[in-house]
Amino acid sequence: MLALTIRSFDRIAEWTVRTALEDADIAVDGGRPWDLRVHDRSFYGRLLRNAPFQLGETYLDGLWDCDAIDVLMERLLASGLASAHERRGTHQLRSAWARLRNRQSRDRAGEVATAHYDVDIALYRSMLDRALVYTCALWRDGETLDDAQQNKLRLVCDKLELQPGDRLLDIGCGFGGLAGFAAKEYGARVVGITNSQQHYAVARELHPECEFVLMDYRDAASLGRFDKIASIEMIEAVGPKNFGTYMAVARACLLGGGTFLVQSFISNTSRQVCNEWFDRYIFPNGVTPSFAQLAAATGDNFGAPRHVEELGMHYPPTLLAWDRNLTAAWPTLRYGTRFRRMWHFYLTCLAGVFRAEDLRLCQILYA
């Protein structure tokens, strides 16, 4: 009887998943780049139980493949399948729990650095441009990843109206790409802060002309006040309970008449947690802010932004360029197949998310 029940569930799961995929014009074992090739029928039952987590988990386990995961994800989002989970139990429970605790407290703030940014530097050197910029590039026709990242760094400095001698604070400085560019090209005096040991060590090695400090952003006021502040795709690690603190710290660090540029993922709705798979494997405790959450956080600190520009269309080519670089370099890296599948799914899936505009990317200038 138990075996019969299991077989019945498996058949129902396969029919349900196949039907849902067909509604999104995705076929199983079809011939198009976005079609799925299912290698193990347990995929269907696992997907039915917890789709937002198991889509990535079953890919890591080798249960399915797809030649264009970015297009697959774009179609899943356009059909509504990929976002339906936010109305269901698992996501609601995770959101409720996040409202009760500060998942990005001082004690937990370093978890994303340990899990994601402090992996072998060889991976990042293989994946990124020469300046090791791990944020969205700004593409023009026919340009290389190196050129596109330089475009983005110049856009940031120009929006800040950076002048020689200006004191610039880079909150979440990464490997120091922006700091080094601002110092060399604009004559700025730059201080970069990070909570990643590897970011700190590599940035100091690559850019001795800048100062780097290993610290939590909440302590940045101890560094004094600055003419300009930039924070490029760092606020996603701050968390909804701390958005106000983040903005207050930036305001405390900024001299009168100064400007503050934030480059951030933007969620279409206000969330307390991110996708469960990304939370476990890629960005622990990360949450993308919405415009409503940013407005609430900036109200007593900066008021309305001076300028907002959307750059989300530049993220798919950036993510796919990183993935191509990793694919080419993978035989020289020390990681196994599962780790490679994890990074491939992360980069290509996120490209589809931005292409579907389920997430946006904005540069926001405050004064």
Q: In 224-233, which positions are buried (b, 16+ CB within 10 angstroms) versus exposed (e)?
A: eebbbbbbbb
What is the per-residue pLDDT for 270? 87
- Whether 159 and 304 share a structural domain: yes
226 domain-assigned: yes
- Whether 277 and 131 share a structural domain: yes
Q: β-strand 307-310 against 359-366: which pairing, if any? A: antiparallel
106 domain-assigned: no
- Whether 95 and 118 share a structural domain: no
Length in residues, the chain: 367
- Whether 280 and 343 share a structural domain: yes
Query: How far is Cα 254 from Cα 169, in angstroms, rounded to an integer?
Result: 9
- Boundary (domain end) residue, out of 46, 74, 100: 100
Using an 8 Å Cβ cutoff, are 234 and 178 in contact? Answer: no
- Boundary (domain end) residue, out of 77, 100, 123: 100
What is the per-residue pLDDT for 2? 47
- Boundary (domain end) residue, out of 100, 132, 157: 100
Q: How far is CA 367 from the centre of its chain?
A: 25
**What is this structure's pTM?**
0.92
- Whether 277 and 301 share a structural domain: yes
- Whether 116 and 91 share a structural domain: no
User: Whole domain around residue 359: which residue ranges?
Assistant: 111-366
- Whether 274 and 347 share a structural domain: yes
Q: Give the angle subtended at the CA of 282 by the CAs of 54 and 261, to the nearest 5°.
A: 130
Helix (H, G, I), strand (E, B) or coil at 81: coil
345 domain-assigned: yes
- Whether 300 and 339 share a structural domain: yes
Q: Per-residue pLDDT for 208 more than 60?
A: yes
Q: Per-residue pLDDT for 97 more than 70?
A: no
Q: Per-residue pLDDT for 230 more than 50?
A: yes
Q: Give the angle subtended at the CA of 289 by the CAs of 307 and 351, to the nearest 5°.
A: 90
243 domain-assigned: yes
Query: How far is Cα 363 from Cα 233, in angstroms, rounded to an integer?
Result: 9
pLDDT digits (tens, 9 = 90+) for 301-337: 888 899 999 999 999 999 999 999 999 999 999 899 9
Nearest to 83 by CA among 38, 52, 105: 52
| Total structural domains within the chain | 2
Mean pLDDT of the chain: 91
10 domain-assigned: yes
105 domain-assigned: no
238 domain-assigned: yes
CATH of the domain at 358: 3.40.50.150
What is the per-residue pLDDT for 193? 98
pLDDT digits (tens, 9 = 90+) for 243-266: 999 999 999 999 999 999 999 999
Q: Which one has a higher pLDDT value, 366 or 82? A: 366
- Whether 213 and 117 share a structural domain: yes
Range name among 87-101, 143-157, 322-336 with the lowest pLDDT average: 87-101
- Whether 298 and 234 share a structural domain: yes
Query: How far is Cα 293 from Cα 289, in angstroms, rounded to an integer?
Result: 6
- Whether 294 and 177 share a structural domain: yes
290 domain-assigned: yes
Give the confidence band of 285 by pLDDT, cuts at 50, 70, 90: confident
- Whether 144 and 216 share a structural domain: yes
Structure tokens belonging to residue 364: 């926001």
